[in-house]
Amino acid sequence: MRFGACIDTLYTELDWYDRMAAAKADGFDAVEFWDWRERDLEKAAASAKKAGILISGFNGDADYSPVDPEHYEPYLAELKKSMDAAKILGAPTVTIHSNALGDGGIVVDHYDELSDTVKLCSMYRTLTAAAKLAEETGIQINLEGLNIYTDHVGNFLAYTRMAAEVVRLIGSPKLKILYDVYHMQINEGRMCDIIAAYGDTFGHVHIADVPGRHEPGTGEINYVKVLKCLDAIGYKGIVGCELFPATDTATAVKAIMDVKRAVEA
């Protein structure tokens, strides 16, 4: 099983561009981050190449939301820019969400004036067009649901079933789910049942423990069991460690690699 490090939350004691080499040295297969617009793309690509590590992806969203019918055209235009950035970085995927996110992951607009029907139909329409764009560019889209209780109040996409059913209906090989175990434990639990039911739609996985969003072993999730469930369904994607160290990066990385070894045993 391949593991990735989110270098916006791990290795923060280092210069951002040096974090890729540190992740590689610690045994990670890939790195990911949040906003490509804040980075020098050429320098990031060179840093990854020098380190010998894959940049698996980043957020492809901007200030627009697929649940808003009025955002259809600008959303797709910004997504295309993100896909162009992915090509420069050699990243195979971009991550998208149902709502635009502001500083600290705050949901910018809850769209209380729109019904759930309008939001869902708009998201379906926009994602159908986005999937065609993904097929044209060769960059996979990973649609991520977020928890609506602790970090992202007001986010529309909150449950794996909705995401999976939309992905299956659209039926594009370039549109998948980003299954974030941390977010979905908070929203719905039943991780192994969910993985068995919808794991065929997963294109990427995020892990962090609950509560606190720290490394495995600091909270309530049995990550050895959860990752073995992923392995059992034949998941071949990356397990991205999008987590904040409870104490420091070295301690968090040790906990991650201990889980990795236990799963592989």
Question: DSSP letters along 169-197, please?
Answer: HH--TTEEEEEEHHHHHHHT--HHHHHHH
In eight-state DSSP terms, residue 45 is H
Q: For residue 213, what are the CA distances in angstroms to 20, 151, 216, 217, 242? A: 21, 10, 9, 11, 8
pLDDT the model gives residue 72: 98
Q: In which domain, by residue range, is 204 found?
A: 2-264
Q: Are strands 238-241 and 2-6 parallel, antiparallel or unpaired?
A: parallel
- Measured N-to-C along each axis, helices 223-232 and 249-264 cross at an angle, to the nearest 10 degrees, of 50
- CATH number, domain containing residue 230: 3.20.20.150
pLDDT the model gives residue 1: 86
pLDDT the model gives residue 36: 98
**Per-residue pLDDT in tens (0 to 9) along the chain, 265 residues:** 899 999 999 999 999 999 999 999 999 999 999 999 999 999 999 999 999 999 999 999 999 999 999 999 999 999 999 999 999 999 999 999 999 999 989 999 999 999 999 999 999 999 999 999 999 999 999 999 999 999 999 999 999 999 999 999 999 999 999 999 999 999 999 999 999 999 999 999 999 999 999 999 999 999 999 999 999 999 999 999 999 999 999 999 999 999 999 999 9
Q: For the chain, how many structural domains are there in total?
A: 1
Q: Is the pTM of this model over 0.95?
A: yes
pLDDT the model gives residue 3: 98
How far is C-alpha 173 from the chain's CA centre?
A: 17
pLDDT the model gives residue 222: 98
Calpha distance 8→16 (Å, rounded): 8
